[in-house]
């Protein structure tokens, strides 16, 4: 996790701005011999890509990924070679327009002011580097990571809270997430949530949400204490997703109100001679190392900052202004955040897998 690279061994470097000619990433450190084509990337990108429903931005991007390096077909189909995999996605719908007001004014809730303060210059076209468009690169990298992990590791996420509407734990069903336009982890909630989000959308407003993540199939032992703890790495990677303001593992913030008795995940011997946990307050991670239980996390997204309601702000010249953000925006940025959460987790896990293999064999 340094500048625009994350990962220690499975390393992903992303680049590109919202309204530049293209975005992309370089995935380095991938094991060799893994079958990989662009067709392996596209389904995941399609889940994140804009324009799929009225609940996401109407920007038109095919998000077609091209692999420019790192795979080779020696007769049995393209496989990774161990060399860096460069993936490029062209920007297709960077509308030429007058950025007049936004070029100088700082949109509240956006990174505009912070970028200007840090760098003294900023690419204000669609948010430039700070745009969530970057997450397409992560999704592409995550697709590679999934291939490294193999099918035994299953990574699933879904919206479990939309604004004030929260699913009961028992209602959560990750299998339905990509079957509804809200990426909701419950089919039953969809009609009411759609009605609610339609209201938000028509009001030119936006709303936050919580995305839950569940990972099955990670064996006990991944993670590198103390500062490369699996939960710390997941925490950092998820927190680095646009609009994320909180991450919790297992019982998370609710653990603060538990007693030691309630929080202890007791163990018994399973039929296969391996320990079985009787609960999963730990969220599959103890001491920074996976326990073999499902890894569970929840990620809080703030509402999209771009709204039609005018907000008070200032500009680069010190003027006070009122700003409303026109254009194409997601009423709830967390929705398309679901595949991003999954992809980010996949990258963290692929890295943890390789690091574990390095140290322990």
Give, as ranges, the residues between 37 and 66 that touch a second copy (CB under 8 A). 66
Joined tokens for residue 76: 């049995």
Contact window for a second copy (CB under 8 A) among 40-48, 53-61, 85-93, 176-184: 85-93
Run of H or E residues at 248: strand 244-249
Residues 260-319 that bind a second copy (CB under 8 A): 260-269, 273, 275, 278, 281-283, 285-292, 298, 300-307, 309, 311-314, 318-319
Nearer to a second copy, 98 or 266 (CB): 266
Dmax over Cα atoms in the chain, in whole Å?
70
Q: Is 304 annotated as a binding residue?
A: yes
Residues 92-151 that bind a second copy (CB under 8 A): 103, 106, 108-111, 113-115, 117-123, 125, 128-130, 134
The helix/strand/coil state of 245 is strand
DSSP summary character for residue 294: P
Tell me the closest approach of the beta carbon of residue 267 to a second copy, in angstroms. 5
Residues 208-247 that bind a second copy (CB under 8 A): 208-210, 220-229, 231-233, 235-240, 245-247
Size of the site for a second copy (CB under 8 A): 155
78 DSSP β-pair partners:
73
Tell me the closest approach of the beta carbon of residue 293 to a second copy, in angstroms. 10
Contact call for residues 319 and 247 (beta carbons, < 8 A): no
Of the residues 26, 65, 143, 144, which one makes contact with a second copy according to CB under 8 A: 26
The torsion angles phi and psi of 355, rounded to 5 degrees, stand at -65, -40
Tell me the closest approach of the beta carbon of residue 157 to a second copy, in angstroms. 14
Nearer to a second copy, 143 or 234 (CB): 234
User: Is the backbone peptide bond immediately before 171 cis, with ω within 30 degrees of 0?
Assistant: no
Nearer to a second copy, 23 or 45 (CB): 23
Tell me the closest approach of the beta carbon of residue 147 to a second copy, in angstroms. 14
Q: Please write down the long-range contacts of 73-79, taking CB distance under 8 Å and 24 or more positions apart.
A: 77/35, 77/37, 78/35, 78/36, 78/37, 79/32, 79/33, 79/34, 79/35, 79/36
DSSP summary character for residue 224: B
Residues 148-207 that bind a second copy (CB under 8 A): 161, 163-164, 200, 205-207
Joined tokens for residue 332: 């709830």
Q: Is 303 annotated as a binding residue?
A: yes
- CA angle at 142 for the pair 154 and 7, rounded to the nearest 5°: 110
Of 178, 97, 162, nearest to 342 by C-alpha is 178
Tell me the closest approach of the beta carbon of residue 352 to a second copy, in angstroms. 11
Binding residues for NADP(+): 48, 54
Binding residues for FMN: 129-131, 242-243, 287, 302-306, 328
């Amino acid at each position: 996790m340094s500048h625009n690279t994350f990962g220690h061994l499975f390393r992903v470097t992303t680049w590109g701005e919202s309204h530049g000619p293209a975005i992309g990433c370089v995935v380095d450190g991938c094991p060799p011999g893994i079958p990989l084509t662009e067709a392996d990337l596209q389904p995941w990108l399609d889940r994140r890509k804009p324009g799929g429903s009225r609940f996401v931005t109407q920007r038109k991007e095919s998000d077609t990924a091209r692999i420019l390096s790192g795979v080779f077909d020696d007769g049995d189909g393209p496989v990774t070679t161990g060399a860096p995999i460069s993936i490029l996605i062209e920007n297709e719908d960077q509308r030429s327009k007058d950025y007049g007001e936004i070029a100088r004014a700082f949109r509240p809730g956006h990174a505009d002011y912070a970028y200007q303060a840090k760098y003294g210059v900023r690419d204000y076209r669609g948010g430039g580097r700070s745009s969530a468009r970057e997450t397409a690169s992560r999704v592409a990298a995550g697709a590679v990571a999934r291939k490294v992990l193999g099918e035994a590791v299953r990574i699933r996420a879904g919206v479990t809270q939309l604004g004030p509407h929260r699913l009961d734990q028992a209602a959560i069903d990750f299998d339905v997430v990509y079957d509804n336009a809200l990426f909701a982890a419950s089919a039953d909630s969809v009609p009411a949530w759609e009605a609610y989000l339609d209201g938000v959308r028509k009001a030119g407003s936006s709303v936050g949400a919580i995305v839950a993540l569940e990972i099955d199939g990670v064996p006990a032992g991944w993670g590198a204490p103390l500062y490369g703890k699996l939960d710390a790495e997941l925490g950092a990677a998820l927190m680095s997703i646009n609009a994320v303001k909180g991450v919790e593992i297992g019982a998370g913030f609710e653990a603060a109100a538990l007693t030691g008795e309630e929080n202890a995940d007791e163990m018994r011997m399973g039929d296969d001679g391996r320990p079985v946990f009787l609960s999963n307050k730990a969220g599959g991670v103890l001491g920074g190392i996976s326990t073999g239980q499902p890894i569970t996390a929840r990620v809080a997204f703030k509402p999209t900052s771009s709204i039609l309601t005018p907000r008070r702000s200032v500009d680069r010249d010190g003027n006070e202004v009122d700003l409303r953000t026109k254009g194409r925006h997601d009423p709830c940025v967390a929705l398309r955040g679901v595949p991003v959460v999954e992809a980010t987790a996949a990258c963290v896990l692929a890295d943890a897998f390789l690091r574990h293999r390095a140290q322990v064999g």
